[in-house]
Amino acid sequence: MSLMPFEATDASELLGARIRTARKARQWTQAELGERAEISTNTIIKMEAGGLAIQLGFYLKALWALDLINSFSSLLEPLGQSAGEIALMEASMPKRIRKKKQG
């Protein structure tokens, strides 16, 4: 089993802290956030602790419930590309990338 890179662990812990801070700023309990995001309280607890085994979908639901989903989405557009622009770019790319045979 390979270890998780430190940067990934740090990012997960930072995301959990951001969720915890946003929840507390709204004066919501972990149970209230779980109810609004349709996630169990135990999952919220693990998420806020920076759990790496939590499915991305749960993080997205929590961010949505906290009205932070647009902040997350902006991380996915480092070049300022919209989903439509990405689709156009992908349409001009090969469908498969294969290694060339050596020999």
Class of residue 59 by CB neighbours under 10 A (exposed 0-12, middle 13-18, buried 19+):
buried
> What pLDDT is attached to residue 103?
64
Q: Is residue 97 part of a domain?
A: no
Residue type, 50: G
Q: Domain count of the chain?
A: 1
Contact 36, 21 (CB under 8 A): no
CATH number at residue 10: 1.10.260.40
Task: Tell me the helices (H) and strands (E) count for the chain, helix number first.
Answer: 6, 0
> What pLDDT is attached to residue 1?
55
Q: What is the dihedral of CA 33, 10, 60, 86, to 10 degrees?
A: 160
Q: Is residue 35 part of a domain?
A: yes
Residues 6+ apart with CB under 8 A from 64: 37
Q: Is residue 78 part of a domain?
A: yes
> What's the pLDDT tens digit per position in 9-51?
999 999 999 999 999 999 999 999 999 999 999 999 999 999 9
Residues 6+ apart with CB under 8 A from 73: none
The average pLDDT across 82-92 equals 77
> What pLDDT is attached to residue 2?
67
Q: Is residue 98 part of a domain?
A: no
Q: Is residue 32 part of a domain?
A: yes
pTM of the model: 0.74
Q: Is residue 99 part of a domain?
A: no
* Structural domain of 76: 6-91
Residue 73: pLDDT above 70? yes
